[in-house]
Amino acid sequence: SAVISQKPSRDICQRGTSLTIQCQVDSQVTMMFWYRQQPGQSLTLIATANQGSEATYESGFVIDKFPISRPNLTFSTLTVSNMSPEDSSIYLCSVEWDRGGETQYFGPGTRLLVL
């Protein structure tokens, strides 16, 4: 399976600031996804990061708040902009590893606390 790393692993930020989370995969993958997991909750898909085109956002998530980059087949970033305490969450990237069919593999997550 693909090995996925995320940076930072955790951060504490002040409201109104922005944080960019990086996701690196050790293999080339077509599909990369960004999820949010609020405390004690399941995963909510934010967007699908497409290489060479704009990300596809789910209902309730917008590009101005969560801009995404996907410069190549092994890397993506998610920015959480103009943060508020409600953005405190775990942010996870995942990949649909091409040799793994439709199964998604997850990074370790970025734990964000906004004060």
Partner 1 sequence: TQLLEQSPQFLSIQEGENLTVYCNSSSVFSSLQWYRQEPGEGPVLLVTVVTGGEVKKLKRLTFQFGDARKDSSLHITAAQPGDTGLYLCAGDNTGGFKTIFGAGTRLFVKA
CB 40, min distance to partner 1, A:
8
Look at the alpha carbons of 82, 42, 53, 22 in this order and tell me if their dihedral is positive or negative: positive
DSSP at 99: G
Query: Is 88 one of the binding residues for partner 1 (CB under 8 A)?
Result: no
Residue 30 lies near partner 1 (rule: CB under 8 A): no
Instruction: For residue 1, state whether it binds partner 1 (rule: CB under 8 A).
Output: yes
Q: Smallest distance from the beta carbon of 34 to partner 1, in angstroms? A: 12
* Token code pair at residue 90: 């775990």
Q: How far is the CB of 27 from partner 1 (least distance, A)?
A: 15
Residue 101 in contact with partner 1, rule: CB under 8 A: yes
Cβ atoms 115, 15 nearer than 8 A:
yes
Contact range with partner 1 by CB under 8 A, out of 14-22, 35-43, 62-70, 73-81? 35-43
Asked whether 92 and 106 are in contact (CB, 8 A), the reply is yes
52 C-beta neighbours (distance < 10 Å), count: 8
